[in-house]
Amino acid sequence: MEDVSQKIRKDILQSSYESGACHIGSALSCVDILVTLFYKTLQKDDVFLFGKASGVATYYAILADKGHFPKNKLSYYLKNYPLASTEVPGIVHSFGSVGHGLSVACGMALGDRSRNVYVLLSDGDCQEGSTYEAVLFAHHHKLNNLYVIIDNNGLQACGATQDILQLDNAFEFMKKSLKNIAVIDTVKGKGVDFMENDYTWHYKNLTESQLKKALTQI
C-alpha cells in the first residue's frame, strides 16, 4: 500500500497547489488510514463518513483514483468544496464544522444494522460535546456495526492538542464505551519535512517552489 499512499500524497500536493487549498497537513496525516480503508477494508455495502472536516483532499484524491470522477476534476472539486460535500461524486454526506461526524454515523448505523458504518474523526472532534453524546448513544444502542477511527496527529489549527485540551481521559472513555474504535497516532504533514509536526500548515498554501520541493520528498 505504500506505493498507493505515495501516489495519493502527490495528488494531494498537486491539487492543493492548483486549487489554492489549505489543510494540507491534515490531509497528509490521514493518507495511510484512508488508503487502508479504501483499498483493503471497505466492502461493497459499507458506508464511510469523513467526519474529520479538515484534510478532505485525501478523500477526494482517493475517490478520483478509484474512478468516481476524472482526475483532472480533482483540483476543481477541492477549490469549490474544501470540506466534504455531496456535490462531489462518491460523498454520501456533507460535513462542515468538527463534532458532527459521529452523530451522523450513529444515525446511519442505527438505521441499517446490516451494514457497517465507518467514520473518521480528528482529535479536534473529541473536544466537542456532541461527540460525547454520540458515544453515549452508540453505547446505549449497542451499535456493533459502527467503526470509529480517530486521526490523532497531536496538532490542531492553533497549536498542540495537549496545550489546548488534554484528551487522554477522553480517549479512554471512548475506548471503554465503543465496541469498535481505533485511536491512531499519525504525523501532521507526513512525508514533507517542512510540514511535518508544524501546526501552521493547517492553513498555509503551497508556493510553486514549495510544491516542487515537497514532490521530491514523496
Count the Cβ atoms, other than its own, within 10 Å of residue 65.
Answer: 17
- Residues 146 and 106: beta-carbon distance below 8 Å: yes
Q: Supply φ then ψ for residue 21, to 5 degrees.
A: -85, 150
Distance CA 26, CA 3 (A): 20
- Which SS3 state, helix, strand or coil, does residue 118 take? strand
Neighbour-count burial of 157, counting CB atoms closer than 10 A to its CB (0-12 exposed, 13-18 middle, 19+ buried): middle
Beta-ladder partners of 184: 151
pLDDT at residue number 1: 84
Instruction: Return the pLDDT at 165.
Output: 64
Residue 119 has a pLDDT of 98
Residue 196 and residue 188 in contact, taking contact as beta carbons nearer than 8 Å: yes
- Report pLDDT for 158: 67
Please answer whether residues 75 and 15 qualify as being in contact, where contact means their C-beta atoms are separated by less than 8 angstroms.
yes
Cell matching residue 144: 456493533
C-alpha cell read off for 156? 490542531
Alpha helix segments (H runs only) across 52-156: 57-65, 74-80, 101-111, 129-140
Helix 208-217 to helix 2-19 angle, to the nearest 10 degrees?
180
Report d(CA 120, CA 51) in Å as an integer.
Answer: 5
Distance CA 111, CA 16 (A): 36
Mean pLDDT by runs of 10 across the 218 residues of the chain is 95 97 95 97 96 94 97 97 96 91 98 97 90 96 97 78 76 94 96 94 94 96
- Which three-class secondary structure state does DSSP give residue 83? coil
Which helix (H) or strand (E) element contains residue 72?
none
pTM equals 0.93
CB 56 within 8 A of CB 84: yes
Cα 38 to Cα 53: distance, rounded to the nearest angstrom: 18
